[in-house]
Amino acid sequence: MGRIVFVIICLMAAVVPPAVVWLIETDQLELPTSLTASGSEEPPRGKIYYFTADWCRYCDEMKPKVKNLRREGVRFRTIDVDLYPEMAGKYNVNGVPTFIYIEDGEEVARIAGSCAEWQLRRLWNAKEAFIPYF
């Protein structure tokens, strides 16, 4: 797995600016498990798959919100639908931005479209779906 990521990053470095490569690389990292007060290991929570595209104006508006929530410990995996159309198809993503909370490989809830930061926090904390269709 490590060699594949390294090769992909090397290939992308020739085409994609270094800042974008760094973002893609950090999105793929798994966070370590945390310790509870009793000292036992707690399995990591799920993550939110953030489906986006470079040309999407609403996705650009979501970037600061995602960045703030990452600082709070919310785990996002950014997936560009133009680079990974098979992932968009697998999760039945018909528009961007789309946020899908995944736990144990299964979809728990989703938000389709632009939303407020509190709605993403609610998705992460309560695993509740809030789907604004406008």
b/e burial code for range 35-63 (CB count within 10 A of at least 16 → b): eeeeeeeeeebbbbbbbbbeebeebeebe
Q: Catalytic site residue 10?
A: no
pLDDT of amino acid 125: 84
pLDDT of amino acid 75: 95
Residue of higher predicted confidence among 124 and 129: 124
- Which one from 24, 48, 53, 56 is the annotated catalytic residue? 56
Residues whose CB is less than 8 angstroms from the CB of residue 82 and which lie 6 or more positions away in sequence, other chains included: 53, 54, 55
Over the stretch 62-117, which tens digit does the pLDDT of each residue have? 999 999 999 999 999 999 999 999 999 999 999 999 999 998 888 999 999 999 99
Identify the DSSP state of 101: E
> Using CA atoms, how far apart are residues 81 and 26, in angstroms rounded to an integer?
18
- What is the residue whose two structure tokens read 């809830």? 109
Q: Which residue segments constitute the domains of the chain, with CATH numbers given? A: 1-27 (no CATH), 46-134 (3.40.30.10)
What value does the mean pLDDT of the chain take? 74
Q: Which two tokens stand for residue 84?
A: 């990974």
- Which one from 24, 48, 53, 59 is the annotated catalytic residue? 59
Q: Catalytic site residue 115?
A: no
